[in-house]
Chains A and B, each alone.
Chain A
């Protein structure tokens, strides 16, 4: 028989069962879509880091900065150049545009810019092409001389502002978004910071006879580049997290696909037998089946890629905000559609389909030509496969256990999570069988006994869908527990950490002194606490050291995880140091051990008296007595203060300070707005996670629905005898509905410990590896109830449709079961 005819015959199956085809297409598109979406987000974010590292002057090359973080004086730059240093000035700041947007302004000097800086290119064209674009000979002059050529990121194209109006604008895809690049002469006026330099980028080709830095500019320190590669490493955890979700969603989607394909193959065994008997060779039949699968995979894959694009576009702004907030990584919120996604999406859809169909296909090929037609055979998984599942599950659990004990690093952490989840999912059918047997043994009435026995018999056919549901539910419980725990911890921590009512930063030292005097005399002010810090080395790593006053604010509120008995007095006496959790964990430091601060040559050593939580900060941080800080670093800028005042007086005091000292914006912030800002960052992180969570759960719900639906048609042979024994169709339909709900309910009960296990892994293993902090676990039983309610409701809905269909079945259909000598 010709291939086309065979294909037509095979395809007729789907025309009779459009729902099955629909389930297959939706399952596959969802799986592909979630996967593609996550990949798109990751790709976009990574290419942004690359762009940032290559065009943004700040971190691409080593540079010099003042250790106190203040701007570098022009004179210092001049002296360095004359002393043989090859540096290029960069001035960076933010300016509020007239439309309210806060724009990042980077002023550079293209004349001294090291060639490496100019050579660095991004996908697209090199930055220098933007600076010196046509007419080429005048490009650099246009950049250097009034009215100036400025380079803006594409998202600023619509920016309205008088100050930029006269300049010539070049839009560049090379700039991270929300960035304006200009000559330093233009930037310093725009920023209102004449004569200031943020950092001096070091030309990699330095003159060999230059004077030592410590002789010429001791206040400067060399900062080794924190390049895009570092940014990528820093954010790896986040992307791994997303990838893990993408994988999970894809796996759940494949469960649906496998179930449906399996069913379709089994239902077509008779058809295949007929085709074979009428002379179709096995080769033609196999080829036809594979072509059919390919067609379905390509269609579903295509739909999936489109879906993935929308998912990515929807989530990317939140992802971008999260990355910016957590890591300071600049990621464009815009999404480009890449050709590669089509290919990758289609490839994974096709690969997934064939993976899912592999078992069915091989079975079909091996089928003897006149084998008995046993439509239920597919569902009756042999006991052999049970053993296999148990062995694989035990293996996965062993891997998880071993890694938990000996593993380190983020990949290990995620492997634990993956192995644990999969290993548990594989145990589900057996766990269900055990529980159902338990119920069965308790059943006394015949209908009840039949109900349990039949449920157990139906299990193998549903097990894949139930495993998908289990994974999705467990992920949901796990992630929401983690998010909830984090939110609770974080809010509590913010309350402790931001105990002061007002935070103020003076514009200069002179103003700082005036401000202190003024505050000291103010009747409403309870205390003024310095927030002075230096960027230096802590235990050899780059970090920040703060000086703190001996004050009740710290003693009562500072969020210490671990402390010695005399922690605060030791710190106040300059004998001890407090370090943040991530630093302590990374270096496996405990109380009483000593840690050095400062550059290696001049470092001082202090004993650790406490470890505090410091969420959201990827870098080492330490606290010492403020007197010790000013002793060690006499030049430390003394401009930032926290002010304690009765909460109801805070806003009045803020406006008084604002008027008196002409401070505002970022220089004068109240507690509430800092908290709001901090919480916002994390909320957006969780938006992404939760969105993926909901999507995964929907996929699982859909899996249950399609499994029940496709099975219902095949339930007649099981139900007909019971009907013949006297149960009404209504009663039977009711039992069917109850069975669906029961199975889902049971899965949920089993998902709960699994979810809690997952939450623990996320909080105590993944978080520690990814961020350096460990979070206490809080359980939110109400959330589970809600989840349980939704899950049961969805399952009931899914079971109701087939049950209803059964209740309407013509009795003649049921009688036919006996006529067919089943």
Chain B
């Protein structure tokens, strides 16, 4: 998944404690320097199942799943499930013998949401990396925080091909079964995804081929749902450059089975840095570097007191893509410790389909 959820560093600024300072260093402090932490290296191979697990030497990491679903009632639903990890200190300091069981070098945070055409339900939960309250295990795969989890359905199986997903908030809960029917996709150069002209980068791969079945429980009642889901895995230590202010990110599932991931990082000088990955229906991925994909605002909506662009034009000339992306529900504002916009979209134009849009830095 893209730059988008670099938000995770914000874990360090839990509860939104330092908006002023953070804004001087890019959204959520993601532009802070990575001293002492590991940094991604071009050419380093991503291996499974090892890399489904956590990388505590990197400052930030996430397991980010979005799903476009349709209920038996015929309505469209969007589901988000995210686990963020954040390291408090570089790896060489993490080993310091701790005198308290509460002492930890890792913080975890979960975000979950369900979006319908007329409502948006959000929950957040946080934990220290102690007492196994939150974490990620590789075999059998399980990523969890408190009672939320994404876990391998078959404990004997290797990897993340079939997982169960659940989360619940004050006014919603969901329980979904995911089965991948396509391969893992690596972004950038075999998973090394560049994020700025100065060369900031992250490790980034996705599983965009999940088929989903399950149930969502909302204040209006329970509903059976089915559809597709897209998992993003990303870890890094300083993914943004200091002058980057926020980003706009899309994951698009076209009706012909092909997919597109694209993002635009907004810089303080008004210029942008873009990147994209084209994914054929069989999973073949093609990376597009800066300025190949174009994301253009078409109209904004007011949500949570802010004007946020909720209709976009997305173009990728090389693939003949020129589509309009429109939010299913413009009020998909994530009113979490650090706020952002994340919600399902419908696609129209040269291609049609559904996907997810994420936008940060619209304060």
Interface residues, chain A, with chain B CB atoms under 8 Å away: 74, 77-78, 81-84, 86, 109-113, 115, 118, 128-129, 131-132, 134-137, 139-141, 144-146, 183-186, 188-189, 194-195, 205-210
Contact = CB atoms under 8 A, between A and B. Distances in A.
B21 A136 contact: yes
Given A109-B128, A111-B126, A137 B32 contact: yes
B131 A74 contact: yes
Contact of B29 (A115, A137, A144, A195): A137
A104 B279 CA distance: 60
A141 B13 CA distance: 9
Contact of B25 (A112, A137, A194): A137
Contact of B100 (A84, A112, A113, A188): A188
Interface string B117-156: 0000001011110011100000000000011000000000
A111 B107 contact: yes
A661 B101 CA distance: 28
B299 interface: no
Contacts of A210: 147, 168
Contacts of A115: 15, 337
A189 B99 contact: yes
Interface string B8-28: 000011110110111001000
A672 B14 CA distance: 50
Contacts of A183: 102
Contacts of B125: 86, 207
Contact of A185 (B103, B126, B131): B103
A82 B133 contact: yes
A136 B20 contact: yes
B168 A209 contact: yes
Given A86-B146, A205-B169, A131 B100 contact: no
B127 A141 contact: no
A144 B15 contact: no
Contacts of B287: none
A565 to B, nearest CB: 56
Contact of B13 (A78, A81, A132, A186): A132
Given A78-B131, A84-B168, A128-B17, A208 B12 contact: no
B241 interface: no
Given A109-B128, A111-B126, A140-B13, A208 B169 contact: yes
B96 A146 contact: yes
Interface residues of B, number: 42
Nearest to B131: A78
A209 B17 CA distance: 29
A186 B100 contact: yes
A140 B17 contact: yes
Interface string B157-172: 0000000000011111
Nearest to A129: B17
8 contacts: A82-B146, A113-B15, A128-B17, A137-B18, A137-B22, A139-B17, A209-B217, A210-B147
A672 B107 CA distance: 51
B173 interface: yes
A109 B131 CA distance: 14
Contacts of B173: 207-209
Given A112-B127, A209-B168, A78 B17 contact: no
B184 interface: no
Contacts of A145: 88-89, 103, 105
Contact of B14 (A82, A86, A111, A194): A111
A297 to B, nearest CB: 47
A136 B170 contact: no
B25 A185 contact: no
B21 A112 contact: no
Given A135-B21, A137-B25, A186-B100, 13 more contacts: A77-B131, A84-B146, A109-B102, A109-B128, A111-B107, A111-B128, A112-B127, A136-B18, A140-B13, A141-B12, A144-B104, A185-B101, A188-B102
Contacts of A82: 133, 146-147
A194 B130 CA distance: 14
A206 B170 contact: yes
Contacts of A144: 88, 104
B123 A207 contact: yes
A206 B169 CA distance: 7
A711 to B, nearest CB: 69
Contacts of A74: 101, 131
A74 B123 CA distance: 25
A513 to B, nearest CB: 28
**Best-buried of B107, B128, B169 by chain A (most CB within 10 Å):** B128
Given A82-B146, A115-B337, A189-B99, A141 B15 contact: no
Nearest to B124: A205
A686 B173 CA distance: 58
Nearest to A89: B102
Nearest to A77: B131
A129 B20 CA distance: 12
Nearest to B21: A136
Contact of B15 (A83, A128, A135, A188): A128
Contacts of B13: 132, 136-137, 140
Contacts of B32: 137
A78 B89 CA distance: 24
Contacts of A132: 13, 17-18
Contacts of B105: 145
Contacts of A86: 125, 146
Contact of A131 (B12, B17, B168): B17
A207 B147 contact: yes
A110 B103 contact: no
Select the residue from A146, A188, A194, A195 with max chain B CB neighbours within 10 A. Answer: A146
A82 B147 CA distance: 5
Contact of B172 (A112, A139, A194, A208): A208
B100 A185 contact: yes
A83 B132 CA distance: 13
Contacts of B104: 144
A194 B102 CA distance: 9
Interface string B56-99: 00000000000000000000000000000000110000001011
A137 B146 contact: no
A87 to B, nearest CB: 10
Q: Which of A77, A82, A113, A128 lies at the interface centre, i.e. has the most chain B CB atoms within 10 A of its CB?
A: A82
Contacts of B132: 78
Contacts of B17: 118, 128-129, 131-132, 136, 139-140
B103 A146 contact: yes
Contact of B133 (A78, A135, A207): A78
- Nearest 6 A-B pairs (CB), nearest first? A136-B21, A136-B18, A185-B102, A185-B100, A84-B147, A132-B17
A134 B17 CA distance: 11
Contacts of A208: 168-173, 217
Given A81-B133, A207-B169, A110 B88 contact: no
Nearest to B100: A185
A427 B100 CA distance: 73
Contact of A139 (B18, B103, B126): B18
Contact of A111 (B100, B123, B127, B168): B127
Given A111-B126, A137-B18, A209-B147, A194 B170 contact: no
Contacts of A129: 17
A662 to B, nearest CB: 23
A226 B22 CA distance: 36
A136 B28 CA distance: 12
Contacts of B337: 115
Nearest to A135: B21
Nearest to B15: A118
A548 to B, nearest CB: 39
A798 B17 CA distance: 66
A207 B123 CA distance: 8
Nearest to A107: B102
Contacts of B146: 81-82, 84, 86, 207
Contact of A141 (B89, B123, B147, B170): B89
A789 B12 CA distance: 72
